[in-house]
Structure 1
């Protein structure tokens, strides 16, 4: 790949947006490379967690490459999973962690919001400045931000095109942890290690049940319907559901198969 770096370490895939000279802004080719990288992660049964980050020290992702878009004169053609191959990837129950090492603006912020966990450097900042260039944050940013933090805070950030610091993101609730820039990789790895201690089937099922349940009209309805969710059914038939009690009874570490 030309603009995306993909590395696999055990059960972990790290996808790095790799255009540091333009603050990892996303052009058309990069959109499709990201789609391919996330597709490969999603279908690989031995890959359990995906880390998304940016190359260099300045930026996670500054959003769309507006200069490239202006030069092409063509409307963007996003891949089938939407912007960056991620923001409309609603069918992947595996965890995504955004390791935000710098600015995450526009589409970059939308990519981070599409992840399940955001770990941010204290140098990171976030924003949806699309209105400043006559655009609208239609890559999920408007919808996700308004659902992930209090509405007044979301509207203030969106309507005023304000940039939010990592510390404010933590206070508002869309950032999980803020660490010094030098500690970002280690802090992200701690989250990965915690996830990998658990059954991959249980983790996937938990994520899926949360998202499916949020689409129900009440907690009562969600609890009544959850046994019919496909991920719940797969978990009930999995090897991991037997391995957990066996390891507990024998006082040993479980050996998860993820199946």
Structure 2
């Protein structure tokens, strides 16, 4: 299998890079599988204190590979893989998203799964699923209202518009905005600050903060959201949206 996730570790910081730059690191089955493996590897490595997740080629991630979806490729290799996906479970160690360029749809949901977000000033965030007749069921719709004002979350969910890193920082979702291209360096600096503290206390603090929401909302939200999303899927708009996207992409490529 082609390597579409790169892994490097230096000074106790593991940098995991999604590496499908030609498609803005869109998530296909291979990337999803290798990303999970890389994060588990970092989490189990005693020499790693903090993990940074980023994307190659000037973009974080544009979401799921819709062309792969149209070909019938499953999102996950199995139900067990779906339940173990870090987007649901996270990892024990602190995880920082270093975002440049596009951070959209499932890519934005990956960033929201991280504990902290550092972004380059040119980054753009959004959940454009509604534009394509889809529903964001990767956690974004119930995590956004936990991390930002309700009406701002609703704006992103219903319009599908893209917003800047600076706007996301004003809403409290992005912790730091760096110069373009500086997100990984900014994330490394933040990682060093975290690692200056006691590792066990850091891990315990992360666990407690995450479970504050898990116990109240997220544990039930995964299944509770599905009937609402299924109505949209059954309407036929989902397939038409995917076909329209594929047609536009084909024209752009030619």
TM-score calculated relative to the size of structure 2: 0.79
1:94-115 CA-to-partner distances (Å, cap 9, x unmatched) read 1000000111000000000001
Distance 1:157 1:84 in 2: 27
Q: Which runs of 5+ in 2 are unaligned?
A: 217-254
SS of match in other structure, 2:182: helix
1:26 matched to which residue of 2? 27
RMSD over aligned Cα atoms: 1.9
Q: Contact 1:84–1:111 at 8 Å: present in 2 too?
A: no
Q: Which moved more, 1:60-69 or 1:207-216?
A: 207-216
SS in 1 for 2:98: strand
Shift of the 132–78 alpha-carbon distance from structure 1 to 2, 3 Å rule, reads: farther
- In 2, the alpha carbon distance for the partners of 1:81 and 1:88 equals 11
* Alignment deviations for residues 168-191 of structure 1 (CA, whole Å, 9 cap, x no partner): 101111110111114323322210
| Distance of 2:9 and 2:69 partners within structure 1 | 31
**Segments of 4+ in structure 1 off by > 6 A?**
none
Query: Which gives a bigger RCO, structure 1 or 2 (Cα 8 Å, sep 6+)?
Result: 2
Unmatched runs of 5 consecutive residues or more in structure 1: 218-259
Alignment-derived partner of residue 41 in structure 1: 42
**Structure 2 equivalent of residue 131 of structure 1:** 130
Q: What residue is the counterpart of 1:141 in the other structure?
A: 140
Q: Distance in 1 between matches of 2:214 and 2:28?
A: 33
SS in 2 for 1:104: strand
What CA distance in whole angstroms lies between the structure 1 residues aligned with 2:117 and 2:52? Answer: 10
Q: Contact between 1:101 and 1:181, CA under 8 Å: does it hold in 2?
A: yes
Counterpart in 2 of 1:243? Answer: none
Indicate the structure (1 or 2) with the bigger Cα radius of gyration: 1
Write the deviation string for residues 31-56 of structure 1: whole angstroms up to 9, x where unpaired.
Answer: 11011111112222222110000001
Aligned pairs, how many?
Answer: 214
Alpha-carbon distance, 1:143 to partner: 1.1
Q: Are residues 201 and 149 of structure 1, via their aligned partners in 2, closer, same or farther at CA, if it must alter by over 3 Å?
A: same
- The alpha-carbon distance between structure 1 residues 116 and 53, as it changes in their structure 2 partners (threshold 3 A), is same
2:246 corresponds to: none
TM-score by length of 1: 0.77
Which residue is 1:249 aligned to?
Answer: none
Residue-by-residue CA offset, 1:193-230 (whole Å, 9 max, x unaligned)? 1011111111001111222344567xxxxxxxxxxxxx
Partner Cα distance (1:205, 1:24) in 2: 32
1:50 lines up with 2:51 in the alignment: yes
1:66 aligns to 2:70 (yes or no): no
What is the CA-CA distance between 1:145 and the residue it aligns to? Answer: 0.7
* Preserved contact between residue 25 and residue 61 of structure 1 (Cα < 8 Å): yes
Give 2:220's aligned residue.
none
1:12 equivalenced with 2:13 (yes/no): yes
Q: Measure, in 2, the Cα distance between the counterparts of 1:189 and 1:101.
A: 15
User: What is the CA–CA distance in structure 1 between the aligned matches of 2:206 and 2:57, rounded to whole Å?
Assistant: 31
The structural deviation recorded for 1:85 is 3.5
Q: What is the 5 A alignment of 1:151-230?
A: 151-214=150-213
